[in-house]
Amino acid sequence: MSSTSSPTSPLARSNSENTPPIDLLNYTWNEMEDLCISMEQPKYRVRQLFRWIYQELETDVMQMTDLPKAFRLRLQNEASVGTLRTESVAESADGTRKFLFRLHDDMLIETVLIPEEKRNTLCVSSQVGCALACKFCYTASLGPGRNLTLGEYIAQVLETARLLPEAERKITNVVFMGMGEPLINFDNLMKTLSVLMDHRGLHLGRRRLTVSTAGLCPQILKMGQQFPVRLAISLHATTDEQRDDLMPINQRYPLKTLFETLQKYCDLTPTHRLPITLEYTLIAGINDSKLDAQRLAKLARSIQAKVNLIPYNEHPGATYTRSSPKSIEQFRDVLLEKHIRATCRITRGDDIYAACGQLAIHGPSENPTSPSTAPKPAPPRTPHHRRRRN
């Protein structure tokens, strides 16, 4: 399923005569050192390349003026800084922007930029589609797709950063909460974290990076050993019976296994512990009772987790409905009474279907997982794609 190609065989990347074979975004620092050596350049060229790509956000290798001319010419022929084709940008009344990007194989992904006063948070996709089949999630209806490459992960960050006003041209936080399951795309996720955290690259601390997962236990631990970034768990249910039904992954990793794993994840960084977030989508009559809240409080306390309540976002064809504001409040009160830190996520961007679980809603004429239907030009989405909130 993975589409990563080996960085040591750049020519293997080319599947189109027009596409330069090497995407410079597909290389971690160490891999780019090897690439420079294979092109008969000193290792330190990687420092220059990283600066141009990640600090200057340059896409034209000929503009990388401190590289020797001959090397630039060679790069121009053999490589490029990967870019994504922006099919559309939808801007929400609250400033959230949803980008629909077309990949080289015509697949479509979505990336959401959430600007706030002091930070620019980017919600990135990990896969085209998703294999996990969570019952309440719209992305799941696309079915399994393919993993994004390192270059495609990174391009989401650079492409959106370039669109920010010059003075604030920096993505300050990245959350892996877009389409797909990041821990299924494990190897590329690890490489992406290494590039995002590299002080010579984007230099984002582990506190600024959040990986959200439906709960793939072995991968959670493996990630903690390599990059103990912030972890968010899509919990959504407090008994195995409920969770087996809503999220089939629970049949493989039931709650007991999941919480033992989460405890181990915390133990990996005892002195610099970042609290785990339990994400809990409130669905009317399914998981929003007082008893559910009490069980959730107990689970959260067992690992000192925070809880993030997400009002269920309805989408076309959804069989569930959002809990009423009163039940959400009562649910939260139970948690607070039990001294659990509980926030209720402000549902940003839902007027443009950029909210949780709504990614992949494009309108009737598009299907991002299907190249056979995707290549036709996407209908323009701004400004008529905009919908005002009541």
Q: Is 110 a catalytic residue?
A: yes
Select the residue whose beta carbon is closest to ligand SAH and give its number: 357
**Member of 357, 361, 369, 381 binding ligand SAH (CB under 6 A):** 357
- Kindly tell me which residue out of 33, 159, 181, 288 binds ligand SAH, with binding defined by CB under 6 A: 181
212 binds ligand SAH (CB under 6 A): yes
Q: In the complex, what is the shortest distance from the CB of residue 315 to ligand SAH, in angstroms, rounded to a whole number?
A: 6
Binding region for ligand SAH (CB under 6 A) out of 75-83, 142-150, 191-199, 306-314: 306-314
Cα–Cα distance, 346 to 328 (Å, whole number)? 12
Using CB under 6 A as the binding rule, whether residue 352 contacts ligand SAH is answered as no
Catalytic residue (one of 152, 159, 356, 366): 356
In the complex, what is the shortest distance from the CB of residue 214 to ligand SAH, in angstroms, rounded to a whole number? 4
Taking a C-beta distance cutoff of 8 angstroms, is the pair 185, 127 a contact?
A: yes
Q: Is 242 exposed, middle or buried (0-12, 13-18, 19+ CB in 10 A)?
A: middle
Q: Which stretch binds ligand SAH (CB under 6 A): 193-201, 212-220, 237-245, 289-297?
A: 212-220
CA–CA–CA angle 370, 358, 222 (5° rounding):
85
Q: Which of 5, 26, 234, 250 binds ligand SAH (CB under 6 A)?
A: 234
# of chain residues touching ligand SAH (CB under 6 A): 17
Q: Is residue 188 within the footprint of ligand SAH (CB under 6 A)?
A: no
Q: What is the spatial distance between Cα 216 and Cα 258, in angstroms, rounded to a whole number? A: 8
| CA 285/CA 321 separation, integer angstroms | 9
From the list 137, 255, 286, 303, which residue makes contact with ligand SAH (rule: CB under 6 A)? 137
State which of residues 108, 204, 307, 356 lies at the interface with ligand SAH (CB under 6 A): 356
Q: Is 378 exposed, middle or buried (0-12, 13-18, 19+ CB in 10 A)?
A: middle
Strands across the sheet containing 173-176: 85-91, 97-102, 108-115, 120-123, 173-176, 209-213, 230-234, 277-282, 306-311, 342-344
The type of residue at 347 is T
Q: Which residues pair with 308 in a beta bridge?
A: 279, 343
Which of 140, 171, 188 is CA-nearest to residue 26?
188
Of 6-14, 46-54, 155-163, 310-318, the segment contacting ligand SAH by CB under 6 A is: 310-318
Rounded to whole angstroms, the Cα distance separating 179 from 136 reads 14
Residue 150 sits in the site that holds ligand SAH (CB under 6 A)? no
Catalytic residue among 110, 181, 279, 366: 110
Using CB under 6 A as the criterion, which residues of the chain lie in contact with ligand SAH when the complex forms?
134, 136-137, 177, 181, 212-214, 234, 236, 279, 281, 310, 312-313, 356-357
Active site residues: 110, 356
